[in-house]
Amino acid sequence: MHTVVMTKGVPDFREGKVAFDEDGHLERGNTPTVMNPNDEHALRAALQTRVRHGGRVSVMSMGPPGYEDVLQEAMESVYADDCYLVSDKQFAAADTWATAITLATAIEHLGEPDLVFAGFKTADGETGHTGPQTCWGLDIPIVTHVVALDIDPEERTLRAKRLVEGDIEEIETVETSLPAFVVADPEFEPSYRTARHRLERKRLREEARERAADIDEHVTYWDHEELNLDPDYVGLDGSPTIVSSVDPIPRAPAEREATEVDPTDPEALGEVVEELTPHAGGD
């Protein structure tokens, strides 16, 4: 079983980490890059697969050199065997389409993996397109919003529970053949209910720690030549998306009007209830 997990480095949006310029644009150079938080769920799903069925896990990312921290984090959390960084000036400023073409080519270049995992969406672009578009490029079945997985390596099938319309109240079970593409939902919870799985996870963790300490030895860099990609179809030139305008990220209102309410005053509380009632339907 060969599993590939796609992960991306994104600006660290945690409070105090993000730097904006005067126009409210993000200053990438001054904002640390971290692993896209949603990819964690993809990584967990891949790890569960690896623990249960063995095989090899590769982490793939597209981005500038210097992504090693992100790859290292990915390697430690998924106990990956190897990492691939698709990196080339020609790939810069790619939209989701051009990114997907590049990644699909890179994944094919790896051989034919049995499973590809991607996170739900990135914390910066938030389109949620890259995964499905890459899958389109690979021409394999896709299951999105996956919250639980069961793989039968002999039958080469995958059963998944997925959220219907992203709603946790409604879950359907689907089945497809391998190879397949899985987009893990943030609700994905890996389950390790047997001792042997936990022991295997522990073994993998110990091995991965050693590998991650020498991350450089386990990263392969691929540029457009290696992937045999025409520069006209990747990066900015290969991106059909036209950005009409960029809005600065709205700052939180400096001051909001607040009325203090005495919690022991029934009349005041009655007013609060009256204020809230119109919104009770979920508006």
The residues that touch another protein, with contacts defined as CB under 8 A, are 147-150, 159, 161, 168, 171, 187, 189, 191, 193-199, 202-203
Nearer to another protein, 121 or 161 (CB): 161
Closer to another protein at the Cβ: 94 or 148?
148
Q: Which is nearer to another protein, 17 or 198 (CB)?
A: 198
Work out how close the CB of 192 gets to another protein at its nearest, in angstroms, rounded to a whole number: 8
Tokens linked to 271: 């007013």
DSSP state of 26: B
CA atoms of 113 and 107, how far apart (whole Å): 8
User: Which run of H or E residues covers position 61?
Assistant: strand 56-62
The dihedral formed by the CA atoms of 206, 208, 212 and 215, expressed in degrees to the nearest 10: 140
**How many of the other CB atoms lie within 10 Å of CB of 8?**
25
| CB atoms closer than 10 angstroms to residue 207 | 12
Q: Which is nearer to another protein, 57 or 147 (CB)?
A: 147
Q: How far is the CB of 77 from another protein (least distance, A)?
A: 18
CA distance 247 to 240: 20
**Closest to 94 (Cα-Cα) out of 234, 213, 221, 259:** 234
In angstroms, give the least distance from the CB of 112 to another protein. 25
CB of 52 to another protein, least distance (A): 8
Q: Is the dihedral of CA 136, 229, 235, 70 positive or negative?
A: positive
Q: How far apart are CA 262 and CA 264, in angstroms?
A: 5
Nearest distance from C-beta of residue 181 to another protein, angstroms: 19
- The least distance separating another protein from the CB of residue 218, rounded to whole angstroms, comes to 24
Give just the sign of the alpha carbon dihedral 164, 167, 171, 176.
positive
